[in-house]
Structure 1
């Protein structure tokens, strides 16, 4: 279950990220290339052009939340308290 949610979260985040990247290229080739190759430029672009990128940004956030939840679900899967390592 955790693995399926993990991949679902990755796919959802990728869809939002690609959507933001497409919007960046529509705005300017420099925004697009910057978003593609320089870390955090796509985040800056999404914030500066919020009206155009509100929906894809929120899709990215939802995907990231699903991804993080799946990691927590899979982290302790199959362990019962008697089998957990002593600290």
Structure 2
């Protein structure tokens, strides 16, 4: 559970960082990134030199959250009732 929260906080911080970078580029990049997720991805691709650090931190946060989910109890294979 703790890893999920930490991963979520890392993703939130990195996403906010990317959003600030997009708004610094122009109001249209910022609004597009805020309202439509694919625009943020296009921004990262087109402005890789500025956006690579927060993007990679975001991916790391996702990995931490996934590890947290996988470590939760009761996440094993589900068996059919009565078998």
Quickly name the TM-score band, shorter chain normalised: 0.7 to 0.9
**Cα displacement (A) at 1:43:** 1.2
Total equivalences in the alignment: 81
CA distance in 1, matches of 2:8, 2:75: 25
Aligned to 1:51: 49
Aligned to 1:85: 79
**Cα displacement (A) at 1:40:** 1.5
**Please, which runs of 5 or more residues in structure 1 have no aligned partner?**
none
Query: Over the residues paired in the alignment, what is the CA RMSD in angstroms?
Result: 2.1
Q: Is 1:67 the counterpart of 2:61 in the alignment?
A: no
CA distance in 1, matches of 2:8, 2:53: 17
**Cα displacement (A) at 1:13:** 0.6
**Cα displacement (A) at 1:78:** 5.9
| Divergent runs of 4+, >2 A | 84-87
CA distance in 1, matches of 2:75, 2:67: 17
**Closer/same/farther in 2, CA of residues 85 and 46 from structure 1, 3 Å limit:** same
| Normalised TM-score (structure 2) | 0.87
* One of 14, 17, 20 as aligned partner of 1:16: 14
| Normalised TM-score (structure 1) | 0.83
